[in-house]
Amino acid sequence: MIRLERRKEPSTFWRVANPFLAVILTMLAGGMMFVALGKDPVTAIRLIFFDPIFSAQFGSYSRPQLLIKSAPLILIAVGLAIGFKANIWNIGAEGQYIMGALFGAGVALAFFPLQGWYIFPLMILAGAFGGFLWAMIPAILKTRFNTNEILVSLLLVYVAERILAAMALGLMRNPDQPGFPGSRDLRRYESAHNAELIAGTGLHWGVVAALVAVIFAYVMMTRHMLGFHVRLAGQAPRAARFAGVAPARLVVICLGIAGALAGLAGMFEVSGPGGQVRIEFAVGYGFTAIIVAFLGRLHPIGIVLAGLLLGLTYIGGELAQMMLGLPSASIQVFQGMLLFFLLALDFQTNYRIRLREEVRR
């Protein structure tokens, strides 16, 4: 009989080794699936994990893409993780991401065609504010009316999607292209364009913001009183109240930070890689970021690594589809397996496997 025993101290060895082991197990399980689909498993796995970074043919293009794909995930996940630590369940980052994009783009479109250095900073403020505002709806409903934030934040995603469609079709539609949905291309409006800071590196302001957010979150969670309150509220709500943590204030702060960061991610996307407000602008970053947050153990550095790994499988998955004719569904299954293994192996960090006899002795 096998049983688990809790370790006194989390194992540092397994914490480092697990992700590698998980990737290897995913390669084995995923490889079997690719064989079942009649494809060469070695090529498929190489395309997914190695070619986006190391291939001579694609590498120089897809390495920067890794930053572009992962930055919004990391930026959103860092904010979500703070709330999750305090047991505040914001499932609606996607909606906050959309509103940030709409507010940011709204500022740009209002100034068009004026050029000025102040436009982009204003867009940043507006983007953060848009996401913040959208997150304040579940926050205030929770603090004032006791309404569960899971439901409110989740349903507000659908509302935000409808507003996005209405904006792309109406108010924000490009007046120079009557009839067609979609706003002006912000990449063609110099003052509003979130361009690459160094050409060919993929480094845009959103990547910088993600880095700043990671450092900020790290310092806050480890060095600052607020971080202590957040952790305390999550682990021992009653103790937190005795320690003078006001639950309502914490709800507003956690949802506010997450909303503002998600809004920023949306704003940097719409003014850069995304380019314009279109009906289908939102592609699920807000939901994927939840996975990234937990995969990164709600720790800022972990989130960076998780975001990059997931970004890699997206880019590699596209390559595998293109070069091998794998269906996109098989890539989803592959990603699912990777997540399962990453999560499953983590028990080794906190537990050890024991045979029952051993325990009894």
Partner 1 sequence: MKRRTLLTAAALSLALGAPASADDPVKAGFIYIGPVGDFGWTAGHDRARREMQEHFGDALETSIVENVDYGADAERVMSQMALSGTDVIFAASFGYGPDVNTVAGRFPDVAFQHATGYIQDHPNVSLYDARFYEGRAVLGHIAGNMTETNTIGYIASFPIPAVIMGINSAYLHAKAVNPDVNFRIIWTFSWFDPALEADAAETLIEQGADVIMQHTDSTAAVRVAEDAGVMAFGQASNMVDFGPNAHLTAIVDRWAPYYIERVQAVMDGTWEAETAWLGLADGIIEMAPWNDRIPEELQAEADALVAAIASGEYHPFTGPINRQDGTPWLAEGEVAQDSELLTMDFYVEGITQDLPN
Partner 2 sequence: MILGSINPAVLLAALMVAATPILLAAIGELVVEKSGVLNLGVEGMMIIGAVTGFVIAVNTSSALVGFIGAALGGMVLSLLFALLTQVLMTNHVASGLALTLFGLGLSALIGQGYVGVTPPRTPKLDLGWLSEIPFLGRALFSHDIMVYLTIALVAGVWLFLSHTRAGMILRAVGENHDAAHALGYHVKRVRTLAIMFGGACAGLGGAYLSLIRVPQWTEGMTVGAGWIALALVVFASWRPWRAMAGAYLFGGVVVLQLNLQAAGVRIPVEYLSMSPYLITIMVLAIISSGKARGSLNAPGSLNRPFHASN
Query: Which residues form the interface with partner 1 (CB under 8 A)?
Result: 43, 57-58, 61-62, 65, 68-69, 162, 165-166, 169-170, 177-182, 185, 187, 269, 273-276, 278-281, 283, 314-315, 318-319, 321-323, 325, 327-329
Does residue 118 contact residue 126 with C-beta atoms inside 8 Å?
Answer: no
Q: How far is the CB of 169 from partner 2 (least distance, A)?
A: 8
Choose from partner 1, partner 2, none: what does 313 bind? Cβ within 5-8 Å by kind.
Answer: none
Q: How far is the CB of 283 from partner 1 (least distance, A)?
A: 4
Q: Which of 146, 176, 244, 360 binds partner 2 (CB under 8 A)?
A: 146
Choose from partner 1, partner 2, none: what does 294 bind? Cβ within 5-8 Å by kind.
Answer: partner 2
165 binds partner 2 (CB under 8 A): yes
67 binds partner 2 (CB under 8 A): no
| Footprint of partner 2 on 3-22 (CB under 8 A) | 4, 6
CB atoms within 10 A of CB 9: 7
The CA-atom distances, in angstroms, between 290 and each of 172, 248, 278, 331 are 30, 23, 24, 19
Nearer to partner 2, 54 or 158 (CB): 158
Does residue 98 contact residue 267 with C-beta atoms inside 8 Å?
Answer: no
29 binds partner 2 (CB under 8 A): no
Choose from partner 1, partner 2, none: what does 112 bind? Cβ within 5-8 Å by kind.
Answer: none
> Which residues sit opposite 355 in a β-bridge?
2
145 binds partner 2 (CB under 8 A): yes
Q: How far is it, in rounded angstroms, from Cα 319 to Cα 51?
A: 8
The residue type at 178: P
Site string for partner 2, 255-294 (x = CB under 8 A): --------------------------------x--xx--x
